[in-house]
Chain A
Amino acid sequence: MSPTEHDPTDSEVSTRPPRPSSNLLNQGSDAGPSSTPDLSPQDLSSSKQEPARPTRSLSTRGTSASKRPGRFLASELRLIIGRRRNQAGLLVLAAVPIIMAIAGAVWGSSGRGADLMSLAQGNGVLVPLAALGVEIAMFLPLAIAMLSGDAIAGEANQGTLRYLLTVPVGRTRILAVKYLSLCIGALIGVGTIVVAGLIAGGLLFGLGPLTTLSGTQLDLGNTVMRLLVGVAYLTCALGAIAAVGLFVSTLTEQPIAATIAVMIFVIVCTILGAIEQLAWLHPWLITSHLMAFADVLRDPLPLDNMLRGLGIFASYAVVFWLSAWARFTTKDITN
């Protein structure tokens, strides 16, 4: 085909009345530079042009694909953040450090002395860490379980999955974007707790140099760095749970079922972690490694526990992500 095929006087127009290319929305898309008369062939094949042949049009539309690779992810995050239920969930996550700080300020130390909350009364910086310690056991996994229920099962349940697939969006791309958005959701959840904790702790106890469990003092810059390490570590832990959630989400069309399944997974892991006779199993459980983030309170920062945890998280993420992929890319979408 010559590049002049866009010419409306093309003789093929008369020989083949049913043109394969339609101009459904032509009015809306023919503005811009393509209306200038002296165009190079490349300009003619811009995505705004109405190409005469579907095969050609596919390739020209493809050129604009790389322009905004993050559009799907941005749209996904807007969906997650825009949903009322998720906003309410964030409020609950943020409420915990605030309640803990207020309780500590009003009623004082529990008397046991060594717990994070007692330490926090000397320094607001410890409030977010204390809150993370409380929420990583239940609330944060629950938040990820809910988001991963929505991810594939929710879209399948609503029927929007079939319309995503016919746009088309490749199945691997859907999984990748969904997983990435779950991880960003985890970061937002953990970050919200830290920010709320810092504000509440700062207002009630003030923010000062941190005295570590090892007895040394850290300046504010170092303290913030320690907090960020803790945030990153727990986000990775939740990322591993999110991979489990993504896999479960490809197995069912009921988002609630997926959420419950993920919570059962977390609870069973916690129970197994509490059974002494199963000590050999404990290193392999996600839940055994969650509290390693508290190492950020030691000086010098011991990394071995957290690195071991990250190794386990990465293994879970890879295994369950690939399981999700194997399942989703071969699944018949029948709803």
Chain B
Amino acid sequence: MSEQPALAVATHGLTKTFGAQVVVDNLDLVVPYGAVYGFLGPNGSGKTTTIRMILGLIEPTAGDRELLGHDRPIAALPRIGALVEGPAFHPYLSGRANLVRLDAVDATADPRTTRRRVDAALDRVGLMAAAAKTYRQYSLGMRQRLAIAAALLAPRDLLVLDEPTNGLDPQGTREVRNLIASLAADGATVVVSSHLLSEIEQICSHLGVISAGTMVAQGSVEEIRARQQTTAVVHTADPEQAARVLSEQGLTQIESGRDTARGVADDDHPPEQLVAALVAAGVGVRGFALERPSLEDLFVELTGEGFDVAH
């Protein structure tokens, strides 16, 4: 029991087919301990199916899963707080009664501390004032908060939050983001899925991008950023000559257009050195820029479509 598993969540060749349709295809998820893992992909790309497989709601067609060192989800689930595809509670029970219900069915929960833990969870998501209202009366934002509170009923090592900001207003989105950041600061590993990069980009340490059931990019945010190439763009009346100079300087993927030349630069090519070389070679430089695509651009490129196209 003393062996520390290296990864909080790891899947190997995880695959799910519904009939002839391959929804998740050979997915290798790598979530290190302590990471805030942003699981990104357009709607319908297989995020929720993957999350359901991780949590044991759906049996994979092939492949295996490892959670907190266990290969059976149910063994790890007591240490996992989960939000799957939106909140779901008994409509005619109050928010508090719903949490008490979830605690009562948890064989590992201590009934003597139920009240304290329910109150702490409600307090953490700011629902204390509405605790006695029936779930039916809750707004979508309150329902989302209650679902997050349910995920916080017991101490958790891993939080799996599927689209936690769905249906929240911008302020609610920011609050959820802050909440996730504070949970991560307490040491929990967080897997948070979204179809909107911008909603979770700031808090993620790791990203996994899924498109049509396949992982198209995965790693720490730095690793993914480093994959993006910086392109030097020279505006000039003599693009041929400029292209030659860029080539001599060691840039790759040289292209020249009607009045521009561009090449992929790495860290060995400081812009001042490139400009000096161009000028020394007699190229009339009208403009010079280093272009680096944003993460958002990268994801649009990776997933082949805008993030809300499938919305």
Given contacts A24-B183, A74-B104, A162-B84, contact A330 B59 (CB under 8 A): yes
Given contacts A24-B186, A28-B119, contact A55 B108 (CB under 8 A): no
Produce 1/0 per residue, A70-82, CB < 8 A to B.
0110110001001
Residues in A whose Cβ lies below 8 Å from that of B74 = 168, 170
Q: Is the pair B188, A332 in contact by a Cβ cutoff of 8 Å?
A: no
Interface flag for B200 (CB, 8 Å): no
Interface flag for B13 (CB, 8 Å): no
Residues in A whose Cβ lies below 8 Å from that of B80 = 166
- Chain B nearest CB from A45 CB (Å) reads 12
Closest B residue, CB atoms, query A66: B107
Closest A residue, CB atoms, query B104: A75
Interface stretch among B32-40, B230-238, B281-289? B32-40
Interface flag for A315 (CB, 8 Å): no
Q: Which of B34, B101, B124 contacts A79 (CB 8 A)?
A: B101
Q: Is the pair A53, B117 in contact by a Cβ cutoff of 8 Å?
A: no
Contacts between the two chains (Cβ within 8 Å), count: 179
Interface flag for A35 (CB, 8 Å): no
Q: How long is the Cα–Cα vector from A17 to B187 in the complex, in angstroms?
A: 8
Q: Is the pair B106, A163 in contact by a Cβ cutoff of 8 Å?
A: no
Q: Is the pair A48, B155 in contact by a Cβ cutoff of 8 Å?
A: no
Q: Is the interface of B mostly helix, strand, loop or mixed?
A: loop
Interface stretch among A56-64, A131-139, A278-286? A56-64
Closest B residue, CB atoms, query A173: B107
Q: Is the pair B90, A22 in contact by a Cβ cutoff of 8 Å?
A: no
Closest B residue, CB atoms, query A70: B104
Closest A residue, CB atoms, query B147: A163
Q: How long is the Cα–Cα vector from A67 to B100 in the complex, in angstroms?
A: 17
Chain A contact-residue range equals 35 or more
Closest B residue, CB atoms, query A84: B92
Q: How long is the Cα–Cα vector from A165 to B80 in the complex, in angstroms?
A: 12
Residues in B whose Cβ lies below 8 Å from that of A62 = 108
Q: For residues 62 through 115 of chain B, which have their beta carbon under 8 Å from a beta carbon of chain A? A: 68-69, 73-80, 82, 84-93, 100-102, 104-111, 113
Q: How long is the Cα–Cα vector from A332 to B52 in the complex, in angstroms?
A: 9
Q: Is the pair B187, A22 in contact by a Cβ cutoff of 8 Å?
A: yes
- Chain B nearest CB from A253 CB (Å) reads 12
Residues in B whose Cβ lies below 8 Å from that of A334 = 52, 57-58
- Chain B nearest CB from A72 CB (Å) reads 5
Interface flag for A221 (CB, 8 Å): no
Residues in A whose Cβ lies below 8 Å from that of B89 = 158, 160, 163
Produce 1/0 per residue, A34-53, CB < 8 A to B.
00000000000001101001
Given contacts A65-B107, A72-B104, contact A28 B90 (CB under 8 A): no
Interface flag for A20 (CB, 8 Å): yes
Closest B residue, CB atoms, query A46: B110
Q: Which of B57, B75, B86, B93 contacts A166 (CB 8 A)?
A: B57
Closest A residue, CB atoms, query B75: A58
Q: How long is the Cα–Cα vector from A18 to B124 in the complex, in angstroms?
A: 22
Interface flag for A169 (CB, 8 Å): yes
Given contacts A58-B79, A65-B108, A72-B104, contact A53 B4 (CB under 8 A): yes
Interface flag for A216 (CB, 8 Å): no
Known: A23-B155, A24-B156, A61-B109. 13 other contacts (CB 8 A): A18-B189, A61-B108, A75-B101, A75-B105, A82-B93, A83-B92, A159-B88, A163-B82, A166-B80, A166-B82, A166-B84, A167-B78, A169-B105
7 A/B residue pairs, CB under 8 Å, sorted by A = A1-B2, A19-B33, A20-B8, A58-B75, A79-B90, A159-B85, A163-B88
Binding site for B on A (CB under 8 A): 1, 16-29, 47-48, 50, 53-59, 61-62, 64-65, 67-69, 71-72, 74-75, 79, 82-84, 158-160, 162-170, 173, 330, 332-334
Per CB-CB distance, the 5 closest pairs between chain A and chain B, nearest first, are A18-B34, A159-B88, A168-B77, A22-B188, A75-B104
